[in-house]
Amino acid sequence: MHSSTNQTPAVLEKGWNPRLPQDTLRKDLVELHPTDASFKGMLDKARKHAIRFIEDSFAYAKGKWDKSHATPDFKVGDLVLVSTTKLNNIKGCKDLKDSFAVAYVITAFNGPNAVEVELSEDLSTKHPTFPGILIKPYKSGDAEKFPLRNRAFHHIPPF
């Protein structure tokens, strides 16, 4: 049973639940054929084994997610860079385009891990909501680390 729909995947896909071999065995029989009993035992063991491995894989995936996931600490009005991996309408060569687009302003939050940004005209056809994994904070250039950045050097060639 799925937690949100309270129905099995078979019902959601096909509209009916398939009958499994263990469902066809009658519970009120006094004596079962040994082959039937061993087949049912084999199916029950396989089911328990599969359930245990599914629970283990869910626990492993949750542990990996919890270890590597950090909730972004952005605020409305912050500048963020948007990843260009899913943006296919940026002009130019795909191999030469930057991995993150110019800084955009956060206008709203859609859940704990998605932000809505104010996109420029060239990206106006895209949906403005991006997951936290596709954005990173914008850090402006530090004047102490890069003192020559503010001053433009203009070299005028001699005549």
Statement to judge: residues 44 and 87 lie in one domain? no
CA angle 123, 81, 152 (to 5 degrees): 100
Q: How many domains does the chain have?
A: 2
Question: Taking 70 as the threshold, does the pLDDT of residue 27 lie above it?
Answer: no
pLDDT of residue 51: 95
pTM above 0.75, yes or no: no
DSSP code string of 23-51:
HHS-TT-S---HHHHHHHHHHHHHHHHHH
Statement to judge: residues 54 and 84 lie in one domain? no
How many CB atoms are closer than 10 A to CB 117? 23
For strand 135-137 and strand 100-109, is the pairing parallel, antiparallel, or unpaired? unpaired
Mean pLDDT of the residues in the chain: 81
Statement to judge: residues 100 and 55 lie in one domain? no
For residue 73, being part of any structural domain is answered with no
Model pLDDT for residues 140-150, shown as the tens digit of each residue: 767 677 666 66
Model pLDDT for residues 95-154, shown as the tens digit of each residue: 777 788 778 899 998 888 889 998 888 778 888 898 888 888 888 767 677 666 666 556
* Residues spanned by the domain of 40: 9-67
Query: What percent of the chain shows pLDDT beyond 70?
Result: 81
Q: What does the alpha-carbon distance between residue 109 and residue 111 come to, in Å, rounded to a whole number?
A: 6
For residue 1, being part of any structural domain is answered with no
pLDDT of residue 68: 84
Question: Taking 90 as the threshold, does the pLDDT of residue 57 lie above it?
Answer: yes
Cβ contacts of 101-105, under 8 Å, gap ≥ 24: 103/79, 103/138, 104/79, 104/80, 105/77, 105/78, 105/79
For residue 98, being part of any structural domain is answered with yes
pLDDT of residue 1: 74
pLDDT of residue 83: 86
Tokens encoding 118:
């104010």
